[in-house]
C-alpha cells in the first residue's frame, strides 16, 4: 500500500494564508500613510513645515497652527461660522437629495420595463466618462438661466444628478427578487409603499454608500461657490479655506493654517467612512465592482 508523500517545496495552506495577510497588512500601512502625514503636518511648527529634506513625523508638535487659523477666521469680514453653517446645510441637503433622486431613478430602471429603458441607462453610464471640467460651461448656463445664482439652490441643484449613485443603486436593486415586489402588491401596497417599505430597507448598504459619496462631493466642493455665488455670505467653508494662502506677498505665510484646514476637511470624511465602511464593501460586492 503506497503512502502519499508531502512535497516539502509545496507551501501549506496556512503558509499561503499567512503570506497573503502579511502582504495585505503592508499595503494597508502604505495606504494609511497619507492620513498619518496630514495629522502630523497640522501640528508641525513653521521651521518643520519648510525643513529640507522634509520629515514625515512631527518632532516638536504644538497647536500654533490652530491658533493661527482661529486668528485668520476671527478677523475675516464674514464670520467663519457662516461659511461652516453653509457647508453643513448644503452637505446635509445634498446627501438627502442625491440619495432620494438616485433611488427614484434606479428603481424604475431596475424593476419597471418601459420603452427606451436600456438607452436611458446606457446614457447614464456614458455620463460617468465625463469629467467635471467638461460640463462646467453648460452647468453655468443652466444655473444662470434658472435664476438660482447666489442661492442655496445654486449649491444643491448641480450635484443632484449623480450617475454613480444611480448605477450603484440600480445594480443593487437588481438583486432584489421580483417576488417580494409582487407579494407587496398582492397585500395591497401601491408603488410608493413598495418603494418605501420594501426597496429602501433592502438597499440600505447601497444608500449608505451613495450618501458617503454625496457627502464627500458636497463637503469638499469649491466649484459652486466660485462659479455661482457672488456674495461671500453664500459661499461654503472649503472655499474660505482655499483662500487662506491666496493673494499673499510670499508662499510662507499662513501655511500652518492651511495645514490645519486640510485636516479639518479630512476628518468628517474619515469619520463617516469608518462608520459606514462595511456598507460600502457590501455595495461593491452586489454591484459587480471588483
Q: What is the pLDDT of residues 25-82, one digit of tens each?
A: 888 888 888 888 889 888 888 888 887 787 888 888 888 888 888 887 777 777 878 8
- pLDDT at position 99: 93
**Residue 218 · residue 165 · CB < 8 Å:** no
- pLDDT at position 253: 66
- pLDDT at position 61: 85
- pLDDT at position 198: 86
- CA-nearest of 97, 137, 133 to 218 is 97
Give 189's contacts (C-beta < 8 A, 6+ positions apart).
197, 198
* Residue 195 clears pLDDT 60, i.e. is over it: yes
For range 197-216, the mean pLDDT: 87
* Residue 7 clears pLDDT 70, i.e. is over it: no
* Residue 183 clears pLDDT 60, i.e. is over it: yes
Distance separating alpha carbons of residues 98 and 90, to the nearest angstrom: 12
Q: How do residues 146-172 score in pLDDT, each as one tens digit?
A: 988 999 999 998 888 888 889 989 988
* Residue 250 clears pLDDT 70, i.e. is over it: no
**Cis amide prior to 215 (ω within 30 degrees):** no
Residue 23: strand, helix, or coil: helix
Mean pLDDT of all residues belonging to the chain: 82
Residue 213: strand, helix, or coil: helix
CATH no. of 82-286: 1.10.3720.10
Global confidence as pTM: 0.79
Angle at the Cα of 256 from the Cα atoms of 252 and 261, rounded to 5 degrees: 125
- pLDDT at position 290: 41
**CB atoms near residue 233 (< 10 Å):** 13
- 132 to 151, 182, 221, 285: CA distances (angstroms): 21, 40, 11, 27
Distance separating alpha carbons of residues 27 and 21, to the nearest angstrom: 10
> Residue 66, Cα to own-chain centre: how many angstroms?
25
Describe the chain by its helix, strand, coil percentages, rounded to 5.
Answer: 70, 0, 30
Amino acid at each position: 500500500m503506497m503512502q502519499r508523500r508531502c512535497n516539502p517545496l509545496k507551501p501549506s495552506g496556512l503558509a499561503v494564508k499567512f503570506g497573503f495577510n502579511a502582504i495585505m497588512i503592508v499595503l494597508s500601512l502604505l495606504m494609511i500613510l497619507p492620513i498619518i502625514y496630514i495629522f502630523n503636518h497640522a501640528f508641525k511648527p513653521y521651521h518643520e513645515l519648510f525643513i529640507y529634506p522634509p520629515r514625515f513625523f512631527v518632532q516638536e508638535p504644538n497647536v500654533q497652527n490652530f491658533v493661527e487659523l482661529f486668528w485668520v477666521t476671527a478677523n475675516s469680514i464674514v464670520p467663519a461660522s457662516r461659511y461652516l453653517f453653509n457647508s453643513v446645510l448644503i452637505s446635509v441637503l445634498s446627501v438627502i437629495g442625491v440619495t432620494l433622486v438616485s433611488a427614484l431613478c434606479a428603481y424604475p430602471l431596475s424593476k419597471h420595463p418601459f420603452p427606451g429603458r436600456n438607452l436611458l441607462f446606457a446614457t447614464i453610464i456614458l455620463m460617468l466618462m465625463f469629467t467635471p471640467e467638461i460640463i462646467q460651461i453648460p452647468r453655468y448656463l443652466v444655473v444662470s438661466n434658472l435664476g438660482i445664482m447666489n442661492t442655496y439652490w445654486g449649491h444643491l441643484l448641480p450635484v443632484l444628478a449623480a450617475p454613480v449613485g444611480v448605477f450603484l443603486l440600480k445594480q443593487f436593486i437588481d438583486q432584489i427578487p421580483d417576488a417580494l415586489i409582487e407579494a407587496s402588491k398582492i397585500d395591497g401596497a401601491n408603488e410608493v409603499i413598495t418603494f418605501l417599505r420594501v426597496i429602501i430597507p433592502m438597499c440600505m448598504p447601497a444608500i449608505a454608500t451613495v450618501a458617503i459619496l454625496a457627502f464627500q462631493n458636497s463637503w469638499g466642493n469649491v466649484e459652486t461657490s466660485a462659479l455661482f455665488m457672488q456674495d461671500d455670505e453664500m459661499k461654503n467653508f472649503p472655499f474660505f479655506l482655499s483662500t487662506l494662502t491666496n493673494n499673499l506677498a510670499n508662499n510662507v505665510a499662513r501655511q500652518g493654517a492651511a495645514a490645519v484646514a486640510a485636516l479639518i476637511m479630512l476628518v468628517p470624511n474619515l469619520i463617516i467612512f469608518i462608520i459606514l465602511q462595511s456598507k460600502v464593501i457590501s455595495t461593491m460586492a452586489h454591484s459587480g465592482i471588483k
